[in-house]
């Protein structure tokens, strides 16, 4: 029963992420933000703007307090990464990418979960930061 619920939730989030990717590809930023806000409000009880405003320690506290399932953490990391693309050297991009790295660390350390996709994204983030901030 719980397994079915988790699978249904993961499938629902995957479909929303696919729609978000389509909106991003079609260069529809307003619709992307509207759908992202709806997803974040429904699944994580937070709006995108508020999520991006959280300081690193507040973000970590939120993740710890909510104790999200690893699939929901993966989805949140994908949404934040997608939102940051294409990477521009500015404060908003950096804040979003820091949150993605925080989620990847949590997935690896607490849930012992890693993927080639996340490793590639992590490397891309590191290269971006090294090129633009060091």
The pLDDT tens digits of the residues spanning 90-124 come to: 999 999 999 999 999 999 999 999 899 999 999 99
Neighbouring CB atoms inside 10 A of 113's CB total: 15
Predicted local confidence at residue 119, as pLDDT: 95
pTM of the model: 0.88
Top pLDDT among 121 and 3 is at 121
From first CA to last CA, the distance across the chain in angstroms is: 50
Range of the domain at 87: 2-133
pLDDT band at 131 (very low <50, low <70, confident <90, very high): very high
Of 72, 11, 21, nearest to 45 by C-alpha is 72
Question: Coil, helix or strand for 27?
Answer: coil
Predicted local confidence at residue 5, as pLDDT: 65
Q: What is the mean pLDDT of residues 40-56?
A: 93
* Number of compact structural domains in the chain: 1
Neighbouring CB atoms inside 10 A of 24's CB total: 17
Q: What is the mean pLDDT of residues 2-19?
A: 72
Of 7, 130, 13, 132, nearest to 75 by C-alpha is 13
Predicted local confidence at residue 76, as pLDDT: 95
Of 85, 70, 3, nearest to 36 by C-alpha is 85
């Amino acid at each position: 029963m719980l397994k079915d619920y988790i699978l249904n939730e993961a499938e629902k989030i995957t479909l929303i992420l696919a729609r978000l990717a389509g909106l991003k590809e079609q260069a529809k930023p307003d619709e992307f933000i509207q759908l992202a806000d709806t997803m974040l409000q429904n699944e994580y009880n937070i709006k995108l703007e508020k999520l991006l405003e959280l300081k690193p320690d507040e973000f970590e506290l939120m993740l710890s307090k909510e104790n999200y399932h690893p699939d929901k953490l993966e989805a949140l990391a994908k949404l934040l990464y997608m939102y940051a693309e294409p990477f521009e050297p500015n404060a908003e991009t950096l804040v979003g990418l820091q949150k993605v790295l925080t989620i990847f660390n949590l997935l690896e350390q607490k849930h012992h979960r890693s993927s080639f996709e996340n490793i590639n994204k992590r490397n891309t983030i590191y290269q971006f930061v090294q090129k633009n901030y060091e």
